Each structure stands twice: as structure tokens, then as C-alpha cells.
Amino acid sequence: MLFLSLLIYILIWPVYVMVIAPMLGITSIFIMIAVPFILFFFSCAISGLIIYLIHSFNPEFKPAVRNIVRLPGVKWIAFSTVIAGVFSLFAITINHGLNYASFGLFIPVIIVSLLNALNIEKNPKMLEDEQIAPKLVTLPRPVPQEVEKDMVRSFTWAHKGHEYGLSLVVRKSVYDDYKSKARAQFREWASEYVAGGICGEVRELAFKLMQIGKPYGTYEEVSFVLSFVQQALKYERDEGEYPRYPVESIIDGIGDCEDFSILGAGILKLMGYEVALLFLPGHAALGVAGAADIPGIFAEHQDTRYYYCEMTASGWQIGQLPEDHKNEKIEVYPVPGVIIEISDSSAAAAG
């Protein structure tokens, strides 16, 4: 704040010396000594008023004002200013004698620069950005079914006239851990439930689906995963909004639109696809990044096309949008990167 006040003072001081003082005919030594202090305090008041107005009405200017009030990382400039100010004042005094205007200008510059260099000056609290903690919405959860220590879930589904099946073991501790987590707002679902829901069980599921669907190419591989998710869960609308982590959906065997989409996004993300959660009014779906020559409905985000995938019933293909959602705005929330853990299976087997 002192640095901003100094800038204002430097603008006011020449006006006083060249215009106001001659006009008033001030000759008293006491008044002449007091005037620089009065003007500097006046500059501080103006500085405080500017900071208050920015805090109250234009908080977006806070970073720019912070850079003026306290320049970070330039202590050497402040020290150089102190040294230059002292030498300049000394030179003027030697050559021209005691000069009231020079003393009134250089003394505040030297003092404020020294305080700035010594890191004594601090930013006013009103210039600090307000820290808003992310809000979590905790809703009543369905009572989980009684499960054994290791839970085994078997799946069967059909794709292009062929029947498939697989089994997956889920640790009860993993299921309980995800079940106990507070539920986040929908803007955080892509990072919290998809990326944050990746665990060993979901990796195992993605690996098994890749092995089973190996003959398929990229487009058919995605279609194969869609068929699995569409038939793996039973659609059941939640009372209130209760998004499930992938492991919850796998064990509970039920879910609504966001649960289908979260599970499908997690599996495809582990397979190497860029995916997103798509939100429409009162509905959620899966978005899979694809090339421009793929037919169907898509939503574009940062030059990437995310093709719409309806997950709540079997038979929906990539790019097909239900009639009751046509012409509705689609919000895109891409899933962030997932950290892949690699372990030495041979060492683990030896242990």
C-alpha cells in the first residue's frame, strides 16, 4: 500500500511545490516541514479509498493492483532505488545547497523503497482473493445390501448377435470406502467419480473387456463397451441425486443416467480413449472423442468432438440422440488424465 501511496504522492508533490506553495506564500519552517507528512498521509488515504472501491466494486482488478502495491521478486530494484535516491539527494545538496523540493520528493522515495526491499510492506487484506471452499452436497444414500468380504459379480450381455460373459471380484473394503464418500456437485463428477473412481477393480474390468473384444477396431471397441454398460446395470431412478462411483454401480447393479455414463467413461478412459460427461437438462450421457468423419450427434469442446452416447438402454449407438433431447444444450465436462499404476507382477508372484 505504501508503494501505491508513493506513486500518488509523487504526482501531488510537484503540484504543491510549483503551484500551491507560491500561491499561498508559505514561509514558516514548521509548516514547510509538516506539509510533506500531511501530503503523504493524504496520499495514503487516497490509496486506501482506491483499494476499498476495487474490493467492493471491481475485484477482478485486484491482481493488477497487487502488482503495483508490492512488486514480487524485484528487491534489487528497490535497493537500487534507495541507493540512487541517496546519491541524487546528496549530489543536489552538494551542487545547489539544501533544496526543499528535492528533500520532499526523495526522502519518501528512499524510505518506501527501503521498506519494500526489506519486505516490511505487506498487502492489505482487502486485496487478497477470497478463498471459496468447494461445496459438497451430502445426500441420503440407499442402504447397501449385505455383502461378503470379497464380492463376486457376474455379467452377461449381447453384442451384434453374440453372447458374452465375465466375472469380477470386488474387495468389500474398496466398495465401503467409495460408499462412505460425500457426494460432489455435478460440475466435479468427471474428476471425482470417473478419474477419482479408478481403482484396481475397474482396471481389471477394462482389461477383461479389452481381451474379450480384441477382434474389434476402435469404433467397434467403443460400441462393445457401450453394449456391456447398457446391459450390465438395471436402470433405476434415484430419490434425489446420488451419483455412484464405478465400483458402487458394479456391485449395486442399478443406477440412473449419470451412473451408466460414469461407469462407461471410466472403462473407456482406461482403454486410452478421451471421454467426457455430457449434461443436458435433467439428463446425463457419455461423450467419446472421435474424428470428424464419424456420423452422428456430437458436442464440441476445445476443438475436440465428443460423440453422444446414450447409456440408459441397450441398442443405442454412438452419435444417436433420443428425440426428447434434441435441440437441447449439451454441456461438456472432459475427464482429466488418469494415473496408471504399473507393478511388477513377477515380483509380486515371487513374494
- Which helix (DSSP H) or strand (DSSP E) does residue 347 occupy? helix 345-350
User: In angstroms, rounded to a whole number, what is the distance separating the alpha carbons of residues 270 and 268?
Assistant: 5
Q: Is 217 helix (H, G, I), strand (E, B) or coil?
A: coil
What's the mean pLDDT in 90-94?
A: 74
Give the burial string for 73-85 (b: 16+ CB within 10 Å, else e). Answer: eeeeebeebbeeb
Predicted pLDDT of residue 344: 46
Q: Per mean pLDDT, which range of 70-74, 128-132, 262-266 is the poorest? A: 70-74
All three cell numbers of 156: 452377461
Read off the amino acid at residue 132.
I
Q: Per mean pLDDT, which range of 70-74, 244-248, 265-269, 271-275 is the poorest? A: 70-74
pLDDT digits (tens, 9 = 90+) for 46-77: 877 777 777 777 777 767 666 665 555 456 56
The proportion of the chain whose per-residue pLDDT surpasses 90, expressed as a percent, equals 44
Q: How far is CA 195 from CA 21, 43, 243, in A?
A: 69, 52, 14
Higher-pLDDT residue of 239 and 339 is: 239
One DSSP character per residue, 47-111 reads HHHHHHHHHHH-GGGHHHHHHHHS-TT-HHHHHHHHHHHHHHHHHHHHHH---HHHHHHHHHHHH
For CA atoms 108, 114, 117, 123, the dihedral sign is negative
pLDDT digits (tens, 9 = 90+) for 226-240: 999 999 999 988 877
Mean pLDDT of the chain: 80
Domains located in the chain, CATH noted: 2-127 (no CATH), 150-350 (3.10.620)
Q: Per mean pLDDT, which range of 120-134, 142-156, 262-276 is the poorest? A: 120-134
- Name the range with the highest mean pLDDT among 40-54, 136-150, 165-179: 165-179
User: In angstroms, rounded to a whole number, what is the distance separating the alpha carbons of residues 289 and 295?
Assistant: 13
User: In angstroms, rounded to a whole number, what is the distance separating the alpha carbons of residues 92 and 111?
Assistant: 18
